[in-house]
Amino acid sequence: MMNGDIAVLTAHSEIIKCLYYNKVASNADVSTFVGKSIPNTLKLLNELIEDGYVMEKGLGISSGGRKPLNYSLVADKWYILSIAMDRFATQMVIVDLNNNFVSDIQSLKFDMYQHQNEVDVLIGHINNFLKQSGIPQTKVLGAGISMPGFVNTEKGINYSYLQSADPLVELLEKGLSMPVFIDNDSTTIALAEQKFGIAAAKKNVMVINLGWGIGLGMILNGSIFRGDNGLAGEFSHIPLFKNGKLCTCGKHGCLETEASLIAVTAKAKKGVEEGQVSSLSSYDAIDADAIINEAVKGDVFSVKLISEAAYLVGQGLSILIHLMNPAAIILSGKGSTVGRLWLAPIQQAINEHCIPRLTEHTEFLISDLNARAQLIGSAALVVENFGKPLESKLNKMEALNLAELQV
């Protein structure tokens, strides 16, 4: 990327963010978003048109006067590499500046336990995907990678997985030759719901990531809340049970030990082995996808397993509701594809464990982003860093490349 492109991205980052998140916006819309006057915003939009970042997008709807002219980003000006990781698998896709997936989603098995210290394996998979995508790497602004674990976004470290002597982000940037931003998967899903989902118009929301664990992303006063050092939202590890079961975190009795998809899968396997009548018995290997698929089809045992887990999730949510009094709780992530099966048991638990006045204005909603939420959020993670953070990384990488050429 040339210095001029870096300067444009930095100087006009807020306008570019506005158009990315809205796809199409009028001058007045952009003016409100960036906090500049309408004449000044129009001048900047025209400059971005000259720089090849923005295009006119026809006339909008009038509220009584002249129809406003709409603007959007030039979709193929740049691309973003979006990577969504869970404990056992990784998905990758290329996203354009209109938040469209422009490559096939590639899914691969990458067990974060098995490859605990093998960052090079992940880098190899990503570089292969980039080559196969047909998108020139010089057109990719950066990579947004969401992953489970205790992620410190400022230091670029995942304290739970992919540990090494050097910060994870530095290894990824060196191996991929592009800026990389990482964040916790549940926080990233909350970002997707805030920018593109049903949390967009709400200030205080809890987003539940129904995945292998039970993650929590929080939107407080209209902003993503990460806590003091980025580790907020470990909902899975609320100690609710005296069941003696060891959790992945090293403690006993966490919500995850009874209500996560890992726990549900273990219960399903045990039930089938003990002769439980279920369509799951026809599977060679029972996993979360199998349980979700059969639950959707109405398999009684699968529905029962999800309902029991949902009740326990609701029990945990009742604690959070007493603390936070959110406007909405959104079910998102992998497991939300059977969201309607979660709602009734969760609501039952809330009714039993919450003070009614605290919940009378709290909505329970199912994400319309579903399984794509994490990929959408990973791309948005790069967009959120348009401006000085991205500029700093690009300048640093350009300096390193020049130094290597001089050696």
pLDDT tens-digit profile of 137-180? 999 999 999 999 999 999 999 998 898 889 999 999 999 999 99
Above 70 in pLDDT, residue 63? no
**Where is the domain boundary, 16, 43, 73?**
73
- The whole-angstrom separation of Cα 105 and Cα 92 is 6
Q: Are residues 220 and 133 in the same domain?
A: no
Look at the chain and report how many structural domains it folds into: 3
Q: Are residues 19 and 124 in the same domain?
A: no
Q: What is the pLDDT of residue 403?
A: 62
Tell whether 194 is covered by a domain: no
Q: Are residues 253 and 287 in the same domain?
A: yes
Q: Are residues 183 and 209 in the same domain?
A: no
Q: Are residues 238 and 146 in the same domain?
A: no
Q: Are residues 326 and 208 in the same domain?
A: yes
Report which secondary-structure segment, H or E, holds 366: strand 363-366
Q: What is the pLDDT of residue 407?
A: 54
Q: What is the pLDDT of residue 212?
A: 81
Report phi then psi at 342, rounded to 5: -85, -30
Q: Are residues 174 and 305 in the same domain?
A: no
Q: Are residues 64 and 172 in the same domain?
A: no
**Where is the domain boundary, 38, 56, 73?**
73
Q: State mean pLDDT over 8-13.
A: 90
Q: What is the pLDDT of residue 277?
A: 93
Q: What is the pLDDT of residue 38?
A: 94
- The whole-angstrom separation of Cα 220 and Cα 303 is 33
Q: State mean pLDDT over 260-274.
A: 93
- Which tens digits make up the pLDDT trace of 361-393? 899 999 999 789 999 999 999 999 999 999 888
Tell whether 344 is covered by a domain: yes
- Percent of the chain at pLDDT > 90 equals 69
Tell whether 195 is covered by a domain: no
**Where is the domain boundary, 73, 100, 122?**
73
Whichever domain contains 88, its CATH number is: 3.30.420.40
Q: Are residues 97 and 209 in the same domain?
A: no
- The whole-angstrom separation of Cα 246 and Cα 151 is 22
Report phi then psi at 236, rounded to 5: -55, -25
What's the N-to-C CA distance of the chain in angstroms?
21
Q: State mean pLDDT over 195-214.
A: 91
Residue 183 pLDDT grade (very low, low, confident, very high; cuts 50, 70, 90): very high
- Which tens digits make up the pLDDT trace of 283-311? 999 998 899 999 999 999 999 999 999 99
- Percent of the chain at pLDDT > 70 equals 96
Q: Are residues 30 and 110 in the same domain?
A: no
Tell whether 58 is covered by a domain: yes
- The whole-angstrom separation of Cα 287 and Cα 268 is 9
Tell whether 193 is covered by a domain: no
Tell whether 163 is covered by a domain: yes
Above 90 in pLDDT, residue 4? no
Above 80 in pLDDT, residue 115? no
Residue 339 pLDDT grade (very low, low, confident, very high; cuts 50, 70, 90): confident
Above 60 in pLDDT, residue 405? no
The answer to whether 55 and 43 are in contact (CB under 8 A) is no
CA dist 138 → 43, 74, 81 (Å)? 29, 17, 12
Above 80 in pLDDT, residue 404? no
Q: State mean pLDDT over 252-275.
A: 93
Q: What mean pLDDT, rounded, does the chain reach? A: 91
Q: Are residues 205 and 177 in the same domain?
A: no
Q: What is the pLDDT of residue 62?
A: 64
Q: Looking at per-residue confidence, does 95 or 113 come out higher?
A: 95
Tell whether 181 is covered by a domain: yes
Q: State mean pLDDT over 18-38.
A: 95
Above 80 in pLDDT, residue 106? yes
User: Does residue 237 sit in helix, strand or coil?
Assistant: helix
Whichever domain contains 58, its CATH number is: 1.10.10.10
Tell whether 380 is covered by a domain: yes
Range of the domain at 126: 79-188+374-406
Q: What is the pLDDT of residue 3?
A: 61
Q: State mean pLDDT over 254-259.
A: 92
- 347 contact partners, CB below 8 Å, separation of at least 6: 314, 364
Above 60 in pLDDT, residue 34? yes
Q: What is the pLDDT of residue 66?
A: 75
Q: Are residues 229 and 350 in the same domain?
A: yes
Above 90 in pLDDT, residue 84? yes
Q: State mean pLDDT over 113-135.
A: 90
